[in-house]
Chains A and B, each alone.
Chain A
């Protein structure tokens, strides 16, 4: 994510809730210092610290207690590294770092917790979840037999995501 005032990466992120309205501030180190924010500490850390166990989130009380895994099993990104940069390593990180990532998204997106827009063309015709699952399984099999392991991992993640919804 970039700074609100320039193209540099934002290192300070602040979510302000005033009168029931949520707004956000994203600043690079330079602009953060200009506006009187202390840098470091690193921003996403604050964002993460703010939500963990303190605000309503999509996570269930049980899952909220669960600690995020130290590393994404697909790309190896450490959760601590994500907290520092605010940037994920691969699509698999979305599953690996749940429910924390879900809460970050929920906060950043004013409470929205699911996608309602279009899907990629190649999936759109498969509105039926079972048909989509079958197509992805087929692609996964091909990926494994042709030794495209990263693609296989990604397909597996997509299947997992489908599974959550059914």
Chain B
């Protein structure tokens, strides 16, 4: 499996102080086939062939790189998960499945996930418009040769009936330490729920999101157009959440600067001195350094470096960089050394 040396999501995009990345996901199923869970392996293979052989235009360089998941190692699958190119469910599945990735690794297409196709685009920063356009372009190109299951009444038909309609998930990965440290997070979560928004942790580990990274996405997919959904996110939801977080950070500076500085400088000191570092601890500490950079407390480290490290400290990325990280214990040593080196430079 050949992937880029570096994921494009480590780049610094618009509104990077709060918005890590923008993601669009479309759920589609081929007409004339059972959904993945009910299909035979022969039908699943047929779906794979139809999708991977569908002609694509120049916008996608004439085609995607298709990775047959059955031929990947556990470490390669983990790498794909860490880059958010595939879901954990897809990585762990045992059905015939493949993922297509474009040259920039900003578009990935999972074939035979819960639905036949999960088309996903991910871009750094607040760039939902661009992410949506790219996903829509792929959708339109592929459906010029393939019929999707569609009902005039319910829209695009999906394996789980709660995903019907436009089948679009619009999501942003947000860094919200200000709201967390000022005690406002629960209020924001309740408001998000009332607005039918899902708030999930970056690594899906319960309500206490590691590093205060949250993925915010729509729960509703029926009864409004894709353009309305996108407009709501780009003009209301994201600007509002960004403004809440910035206000919280300002409040933190004014009312509890020692707490802010302690979080940031303690993280910097620990990362520069640690000899053993787990991936979760590294994520939490790097997240606080990220906050320090955005608050102009750490002038000698770039945001891009921290974003790169946030990915490199994940197990599969670490093992790719440092061959000595063969198990958890050796990984902790390698991870600490990697971060020390990077922050010293």
The distance from the CB of B3 to the nearest CB of chain A, in whole angstroms, is: 21
Contact B31 A154 (CB under 8 A): yes
B194 within 8 A of A: yes
Q: A147-166 interface mask toward B, CB cutoff 8 Å, 1 = contact, 0 = none?
A: 01011111101100110110
Contact B159 A158 (CB under 8 A): no
Contact A115 B33 (CB under 8 A): no
* One of B121-129, B222-230, B292-300 at the interface: B222-230
Chain B contact-residue range equals: 35 or more
Chain A residues with CB below 8 A from B222, complex form = 105, 109, 112-115
Contact A121 B196 (CB under 8 A): no
Q: A112-131 interface mask toward B, CB cutoff 8 Å, 1 = contact, 0 = none?
A: 11111111111100000100
Contact A75 B154 (CB under 8 A): no
Contact A117 B147 (CB under 8 A): no
Contact A108 B162 (CB under 8 A): yes
B307 within 8 A of A: no
A11 within 8 A of B: no
Complex-state Cα separation, A165 to B155, whole angstroms: 13
Task: Known A122-B143, A154-B32; judge A94-B151 contact (CB<8 A).
Answer: yes
Contact B220 A112 (CB under 8 A): yes
Task: Known A5-B206, A75-B38, A94-B154; judge A148-B32 contact (CB<8 A).
Answer: yes
Q: B11-53 interface mask toward A, CB cutoff 8 Å, 1 = contact, 0 = none?
A: 0000000000000000001011111011000000000000000
Complex-state Cα separation, A23 to B199, whole angstroms: 12
A2 within 8 A of B: yes
Complex-state Cα separation, A8 to B144, whole angstroms: 33
Interface residues of B in 66-94 (CB under 8 A from A): 87-89
Q: B184-208 interface mask toward A, CB cutoff 8 Å, 1 = contact, 0 = none?
A: 0000000001101010110011110
Count chain A residues whose beta carbon lies closer than 8 angstroms to a beta carbon of B.
Answer: 60
Contact B34 A75 (CB under 8 A): yes
Contact B160 A88 (CB under 8 A): yes
Contact B220 A109 (CB under 8 A): yes
Chain B residues with CB below 8 A from A90, complex form = 33-35, 38
A24 within 8 A of B: yes
The distance from the CB of B172 to the nearest CB of chain A, in whole angstroms, is: 17
Contact A155 B200 (CB under 8 A): no
Contact A104 B38 (CB under 8 A): no
The A-B contact count (CB < 8 A) is 165
The distance from the CB of A154 to the nearest CB of chain B, in whole angstroms, is: 4
Task: Known A6-B204, A114-B223; judge A109-B165 contact (CB<8 A).
Answer: yes
Chain A residues with CB below 8 A from B157, complex form = 91, 94
Complex-state Cα separation, A9 to B93, whole angstroms: 12
Contact of B161 among A101, A129, A132, A151 (CB under 8 A): A101
A21 within 8 A of B: yes
B150 within 8 A of A: yes
A86 within 8 A of B: yes
Contact A5 B207 (CB under 8 A): yes
B248 within 8 A of A: no
Chain B residues with CB below 8 A from A88, complex form = 35, 38, 159-161
Chain B residues with CB below 8 A from A158, complex form = 31, 150-151
Contact A115 B161 (CB under 8 A): no
Chain A residues with CB below 8 A from B153, complex form = 114-115, 161, 164-165
Interface residues of A in 1-41 (CB under 8 A from B): 1-9, 21-24, 31, 34
Complex-state Cα separation, A154 to B165, whole angstroms: 18
Complex-state Cα separation, A52 to B290, whole angstroms: 50
Q: B177-188 interface mask toward A, CB cutoff 8 Å, 1 = contact, 0 = none?
A: 000000000000
Contact A120 B150 (CB under 8 A): yes
Contact of B196 among A4, A7, A23 (CB under 8 A): A23
Q: What are 14 A-B contacts with C-beta separation under 8 Å?
A: A88-B38, A88-B160, A88-B161, A89-B34, A94-B154, A108-B162, A110-B223, A117-B155, A117-B224, A118-B226, A119-B155, A121-B143, A151-B31, A162-B152
**Interface positions of A (Cβ within 8 A of B):** 1-9, 21-24, 31, 34, 75, 77, 85-91, 94, 101, 104-105, 108-123, 129, 132, 143, 148, 150-155, 157-158, 161-162, 164-165
**Interface positions of B (Cβ within 8 A of A):** 29, 31-35, 37-38, 87-89, 114, 140, 143-144, 147-157, 159-166, 168, 193-194, 196, 198, 200-201, 204-207, 219-226
- 15 additional contacts (CB under 8 A) given A5-B200, A120-B148: A4-B198, A5-B204, A5-B206, A8-B89, A88-B35, A89-B34, A89-B37, A94-B151, A112-B224, A115-B156, A117-B224, A118-B226, A123-B150, A148-B32, A150-B32
Interchain residue pairs A-B with the least CB separation, the first 10? A112-B223, A115-B155, A151-B32, A7-B88, A89-B38, A108-B162, A117-B166, A91-B149, A154-B32, A161-B151
